[in-house]
Amino acid sequence: MSKPAIGFCGLGAMGFGMATHLVKQGYEVTGFDVWQPSLDKFKAAGGIPSTSLFESAKDKTFYIVMVATAQQAQTAIFGDGTGKDEGILKGLPQGVTLLLCSTVPSEYAKSVEKELKDVGRDDVFFIDAPVSGGAIRAADGTLSIMAGASSAAIDKGKWLLDELSAPTKLFVVAGGVGAGSNMKMVHQVLAAIQILSVSEAFGFAAKLGLEGTEVREKVIKSEAWSWMFENRSVRTLTEDYFPGASAVTIIVKDTGIITSMARLLNFPSYLVSAAEQVYFAAVDKGYGANDDAGIVRLWTSEPVNSVKSTLSPEEKETKLDFVVSLLTGIHLVAAVESIAFAKHVGLPLPQLYELAVEAAGGSTQFKGFGTKLISILENGTGEEEVRDHLGRLKAAVNEAQTLKCPLYLGGAALNLLVSANASLEGLLKLYTVR
């Protein structure tokens, strides 16, 4: 059987990788974007470029939307209201399968499903399918995908979701449209905290007089490892910020989704809220279009790889341990915040664990403590103390205070550990008791 033609809207870093992967798999893909260089690049990669949303959708029985925001998705799907471009929906045939792969609020995904019915297009099989994994995995077809939809829509679109995701990284989330976006949201709790923790750790390390390459080597071999640290630290050390691979504005958009939903549902997003304020400061400094690995410039104007250590081996090891202690404390509380929020919005916790443990939000702390946290929430069992985390984080924060070095996440995580009396059960109560 011949492969179906596919329409695609949004050829940014992730979207371009996804669309060109489909081209490489032998699909005829018509791609829309507002930026001509992206269209030219897509054509060179074998795709069919389009400057019209309507034309990109015409006669396509499968269509993927991968734009930056809910506002962009709304205009792309339903048109801009001016009549200049009627949008994707006008061009789509009956019985089309429509995938929204953008990171959007779950309430927006639900509103798309409702509006499709309101305008007489309940024939559309709509799938709320945000993705995670970065541009390289997008191009390889090995993304993690969180899909929420009716069983009929999943049946229609599963083959396409399989084409874009790694063999074990397609997660069909119970609850229909909106559930996929909620799962992405709680995963981004981990990502948002851990992205900033990279810059906080390197900024602290610079104040400690540690060489950046030695910090990276120490962290990725320790219990302070996270996917974000291993990924972002390469760009931090090479100052690959302009524009880099992931702009600050992207994580600002994601934190906005998290904190807005948290306020709506009366959930205390302690660390994400702290991180969001630092991201705002980075945007205010003019870093919005730069890579988020460059937020370290809020701590030091000198490149972190320019630090030349004069420390003795013993001093160096002590100070490297401060950095490791900072990150392990932050990552532990990040795991609690993500899992507690997932419980709050009614998501299946084992599925979140399976998804996040080896995804972009993964960390050694999440892997080690995630199942214990889930057991406490679901079974009421477990009262494990984390006093070692408390003591080591306290020592790191004390050292930072001596150096007058700001630790936004470290300070917040320490206060939570103190309030919880250094127990996992106590930490969860800070998020769940109302």
Lookup result for tokens 């007089």:
209
The pLDDT tens digits for 88-101 are 999 999 999 999 99
Q: Give the mean model confidence (pLDDT) for residues 368-382.
A: 91
CA 259, CA 243: separation in Å to the nearest integer?
Answer: 26
pLDDT at residue 278 in the model: 98
Q: Where are the domains of the chain?
A: 6-177, 182-430
How buried is residue 1: exposed, middle or buried, by Cβ count under 10 Å (0-12/13-18/19+)?
Answer: exposed
CA 99, CA 116: separation in Å to the nearest integer?
Answer: 13
The pLDDT tens digits for 395-413 are 999 999 999 999 999 999 9
Q: What is the mean pLDDT of the chain?
A: 96
CA 161, CA 172: separation in Å to the nearest integer?
Answer: 10
Instruction: Identify the band that residue 86 occupies on the pLDDT scale cut at 50, 70 and 90.
Output: confident
pLDDT at residue 389 in the model: 97
CA 125, CA 299: separation in Å to the nearest integer?
Answer: 48
The pLDDT tens digits for 268-306 are 999 999 999 999 999 999 999 999 999 999 999 999 999
The pLDDT tens digits for 304-321 are 999 999 999 999 999 999
Q: What does CATH list as the number for 182-430?
A: 1.10.1040.10
Instruction: Identify the band that residue 222 occupies on the pLDDT scale cut at 50, 70 and 90.
Output: very high
Q: Is 82's pLDDT higher than 90?
A: no
pTM of the model: 0.95
Q: What does CATH list as the number for 6-177?
A: 3.40.50.720
Helical segments of 243-285, H only: 248-264, 270-284
b/e sequence 99-131, b meaning 16+ C-beta within 10 Å: bbbbbbbbebbbbbbeebeeeebeebbbbbbbb
Q: Is 85's pLDDT higher than 70?
A: no
CA 354, CA 367: separation in Å to the nearest integer?
Answer: 9
What's the token pair of residue 226? Answer: 């996270």
Q: Is 84's pLDDT higher than 70?
A: no
